[in-house]
Chain A
Amino acid sequence: MSPPLIETRGLSKHFGGVQAVRNIDFSLAEGELRCLIGPNGAGKSTFFKLLTGQIKPTSGAVLFRGTEITNLQAHEIARLGIGIKTQVPSVFNALSVRSNLWIAAARHKKGKAVAQAVEAQIERLSLSRFADGLVGQLAHGQRQWVELGLVLCGEPNLILLDEPAAGMTEEERGRTAELIQEINRAHPLIVVEHDMSFIRTIARRITVFDRGAILMEGDVDQVFGNQAVRDVYLGKQAAA
């Protein structure tokens, strides 16, 4: 059996006395779409930072296709094909949408192929109206899409999305949900989201974080029907 796409073994991160992430054993299969949920401070974003090498774990290991990547630099992990969209859009504000995407595409393409990849991405994300505008002047939701474009231009093997629909209008959320499902046809994804209706639209399998540890993992119905999950996170909203 081939190893999981990404796997963590006993992954922990302490900040002083705070255990942000505790002993996480997580694995994701090729092609999967996984949603991570959990209350604020449950360790989801820290978990993402550990996967992408932004911070190093206190203990434990991260494996990508069976190879340990725990101590690689962020850019080395990115080169393996792990792309991330952060919670606050991480883009190049003073550059145009086109220049932003160019830099992402030029990492592994050369010559005309770069421009082609950029145009294809602009088309896919419906950004052609703003293509030459500065990213810093776009609305929050549009900046989210530009960042998604940056990630996709890298043609990653795994995409991590931290609250991809935050700050979007209802219509934009719908479009983003469609986009995520479309992206999942070619790329495995891990998505952190707070919006339950959004989760219901896209999720198949869900991992629930609570206080730095995995509370449970299961299908949408299992998770939403679980009393412990309701207590820590969904509360009255799901019960209603």
Chain B
Amino acid sequence: MIGLLRSNAGLVAVGILGLALLAGLPIILDLYTLLQITLYAIFAILALSLAFIWGYGGILCFGHSAFFGLGAYAYAVAVINIGESSVPLLIAMALPALLAAGLGYFMFYARISDVYVGVITLTVTLIFYNVVNSTAGPQYHIGEALIGGFNGMPNVPSLNIPFLPDDTLDPQGMFVLCMGLLLVVYFGLHGLLVTRFGRVLVAVRENEQRVEFLGYDARLHKLIAFSIGGALAGLAGCLFTAWGNYVSPTAFSVVQSAQIIIWLMVGGSGTLLGPVIGAVAISWLTVEIGTQQVVNANVVLGAILLVFVLLVPKGVAPMITEKFAPWALSLRRPAATPHQLPQEGKA
């Protein structure tokens, strides 16, 4: 047990830190900051959903906001019609997962090359954006829910305690839920990646042909991974709508898709912690830059992206583990085996 803990020290540390933030932040932070951090947690879930399919599955999805936006709108439409948030939350995950499965079927089973997967996903999100953008007017409604076109959908109900529509979550409750879900998604994906499915998925990223020579269906692995990523992006979309009680077509925008990719690039797409750090750091920075008038936020973000692509191509998290962790480990090692210390001193 102790050995297991030690070999997973990083994971344990993340878990403890996560739980500490989950319990502590609502007590110490003011409402405004807590709301901001709730949003960062939602974005972190979104970043993880893309990290899983891009960083581990090797699927270059340039239009991830299609799933995010679909989840956001599916929740809004469903919760307005149903008047209770539990089923809408599930719908907001199921619809993007189905879209991903459908898209994935045509892309992966037709063995379309990576570049075209990028083009197709980008196109899909553009289609969503333009269709939803042009649905202003009373004739565009699903049940009782007006789609609202470029004006978006205001007054979307918040999440409530399952099946108790009158007990909506307060900001503290929403924070605990989002932070909790972030931890569940983070550790869930970690767990998934050590299973045979997860390991084969990484192998597909490395060499699809060899995976098939070994008797695994690479197409099916990609399809399942893509659907999981779609469902998680949908979850983030649902939380996003519930957080702001509002959704607009910008959820589908290419800017939104690019934003997720930037989080991954800055944080490190081949890891799970990196995208979380990237999403939180960049989102925080965007807000901070917005408070002053000297430089435009997009200029700063563009510069940051340039710096990372050129100087830290793998992102922050791999850089830390590769460059600094060996140094930190070498400091720790003598302490772990104290009897060797005197000998080393003599030499």
User: Do they bind each other?
Assistant: yes
Interface positions of A (Cβ within 8 A of B): 52, 54, 73-75, 78-79, 83-84, 86, 90-95, 99, 102-104, 106-108, 150-151, 154
Of the candidates B199, B206, B211, B217, which one forms a contact with A94 in the assembled complex, judged by CB atoms under 8 Å apart?
B206
B202 proximal to A (CB < 8 A): yes
Interface residues of B in 157-198 (CB under 8 A from A): 196
Of the candidates A74, A84, A103, A150, which one forms a contact with B200 in the assembled complex, judged by CB atoms under 8 Å apart?
A103
The answer to whether A78 touches B214 (Cβ under 8 A) is yes
Main SS of chain B's interface residues?
helix
Given contacts A52-B213, A103-B216, A106-B200, 12 further A-B contacts (CB under 8 A): A73-B212, A74-B212, A91-B210, A92-B203, A92-B206, A92-B210, A95-B203, A95-B206, A103-B200, A103-B214, A104-B214, A107-B215
Interface positions of B (Cβ within 8 A of A): 196, 199-200, 202-203, 206-207, 209-218
The 7 closest A-B pairs by CB, nearest first: A78-B215, A92-B206, A74-B212, A79-B215, A75-B212, A90-B210, A107-B215
Of the candidates B196, B210, B218, which one forms a contact with A106 in the assembled complex, judged by CB atoms under 8 Å apart?
B196
Of the candidates B200, B207, B218, which one forms a contact with A90 in the assembled complex, judged by CB atoms under 8 Å apart?
B207
Of the candidates A84, A93, A106, which one forms a contact with B213 in the assembled complex, judged by CB atoms under 8 Å apart?
A84
Closest to B218 in A: A75
The answer to whether A83 touches B206 (Cβ under 8 A) is no
The answer to whether A103 touches B199 (Cβ under 8 A) is yes
Of the candidates A84, A92, A99, A106, which one forms a contact with B207 in the assembled complex, judged by CB atoms under 8 Å apart?
A92
Q: How far is the CB of B228 from chain A (nearest CB, A)?
A: 20
> What B residues does A107 contact at CB under 8 A?
214-216
Q: How far is the CB of A140 from chain B (nearest CB, A)?
A: 16
The answer to whether B213 touches A102 (Cβ under 8 A) is no
- CA–CA, A90 to B213, complex, Å? 9
Closest to A54 in B: B209
> What B residues does A150 contact at CB under 8 A?
210, 213-214
> What B residues does A102 contact at CB under 8 A?
199
Closest to B205 in A: A94
Given contacts A92-B206, A95-B203, A99-B199, contact A154 B212 (CB under 8 A): no
> What B residues does A86 contact at CB under 8 A?
209, 213
Q: How far is the CB of A144 from chain B (nearest CB, A)?
A: 13
- CA–CA, A90 to B196, complex, Å? 20
Q: List 24 A-B contacts (CB under 8 A).
A: A52-B213, A54-B209, A74-B213, A75-B211, A75-B213, A75-B216, A75-B217, A75-B218, A78-B212, A78-B215, A79-B215, A83-B213, A84-B213, A90-B213, A91-B210, A94-B206, A95-B202, A95-B203, A103-B200, A107-B215, A107-B216, A108-B215, A150-B210, A150-B214
The answer to whether B207 touches A93 (Cβ under 8 A) is yes
Given contacts A102-B199, A106-B196, A106-B199, contact A90 B214 (CB under 8 A): no
> What A residues does B200 contact at CB under 8 A?
103, 106
Q: How far is the CB of B297 from chain A (nearest CB, A)?
A: 35
